[in-house]
Amino acid sequence: MNHDSYSDDYLAGILSRVNTIAVVGASNKPSRPSYGVMQFLLDKGYIVTPVNPGLEGQEILGCHVYATLDDIPGPVDMVDVFRNSEAALEVARDAIRAKARHGISVLWMQLGVRNDKAAAEAEAAGLEVVMNRCPVIEHRRLSLER
């Protein structure tokens, strides 16, 4: 897959199909982008699970925070990565390990996050991958209904 550009159908398909999203690197600070993305996704009806080991056991926007993907008790369709590009490989490997348990089908790396090795490993494991994109921006740009 060419990760320099994505078709509208590819992005719309992902955002229309997924229901549960784990936000890895979630912040409890309203000024942080991950907080705003979580708020938007919740407002659109997605089930959002924040992942941040430093905030484990707390709540962000009424959602229980888990330390790792593996700690989440329920399904996860998409992993949204709010970590730097270097850390994205570790997150991708966590998502691959948790794929069967949670049903993970998508690894989405936020704006400014690109890791080609992470993408290659995730795709080899059967995950769809998006890099350097924000689901909020794409949701709005594509005028998706939910």
DSSP string over 5-40: ---HHHHHHHHHH--EEEEET--S-TTSHHHHHHHH
The torsion region of residue 45 among left (phi > 0), alpha (psi -120 to 50) and beta comes to left
What is the pLDDT, as a whole number, of residue 122? 98
**Stated pTM of the model:** 0.96
Cβ atoms of residues 64 and 73 within 8 Å: no
pLDDT of residue 1: 85
**Cβ atoms of residues 144 and 45 within 8 Å:** no
Delineate the domains of the chain, giving CATH numbers in brackets: 8-115+132-141 (3.40.50.720)
pLDDT digits (tens, 9 = 90+) for 12-44: 999 999 999 999 999 999 999 999 999 999 999
Q: Which two tokens stand for residue 16?
A: 């229309």
User: What residues of the chain score a pLDDT lower than 50?
Assistant: none
- The predicted structure's pLDDT at residue 146: 74
